[in-house]
Amino acid sequence: MVPVAAWFGWRAFVYVGPIAGCLVAAGLLAFAVPIMRTCLIGNDEGLIDRRAIRTVKVPWSQIAEFRVERPGGIWGGFCVVAARRDGTQVDLLSTRAYSRAPSSSHLDELLRLCWTLEERLATGGENLPSDP
């Protein structure tokens, strides 16, 4: 994303001027950095789904199971969904596969992540023992 921001910034610099070029590049980088830092964090308290705009926290005690499904709303693709004990669900959008027709490798990665989260849920959120 940095090369794209630099290219657009340079084009704006050439055609409009240095201030516009810097503003375009800075604007694109300000948009790209939050997207690049999205991730799913699992700790002893629960899951933290760090998204581009907000962070969603789900305690382990509220999670009943994990599934791979299409997220609700306008989002496309597939993601891991945490089903809560009260019947609601939380789309873990940081795990979303960004393709209209997901390949088998995308779905395999999501299923492996889902299985890993299920194992972690079975231990009550504690870290899994590592193999020697």
- pLDDT tens, position by position, 7-61: 666 667 677 777 777 777 777 777 777 777 788 888 888 999 988 888 999 999 9
Contact assessment for residue 82 and residue 60, using Cβ atoms and an 8 Å cutoff: no
CATH of domain 39-122: 2.30.29
Q: Tokens 């910034």 correspond to what residue?
A: 9
Q: Which of 111, 121, 42 is nearest to 78 (CA)?
A: 111
Q: Would you state the pLDDT for residue 107?
A: 84
Neighbours of 120 (CB within 10 A): 18
Write down the pLDDT at residue 1: 58
pLDDT at residue number 101: 61
All structural domains of the chain with their residue ranges:
2-36, 39-122
Q: Does residue 76 or residue 48 have the better pLDDT? A: 48
Residue range 1-5: mean pLDDT, rounded: 63
Q: How confident is the model at residue 48, as a pLDDT? A: 92
Per-residue pLDDT averaged across 82-107, rounded?
A: 81
CA distance 79 to 93: 6
User: pTM of this prediction?
Assistant: 0.70
How high is the pLDDT of residue 13?
66
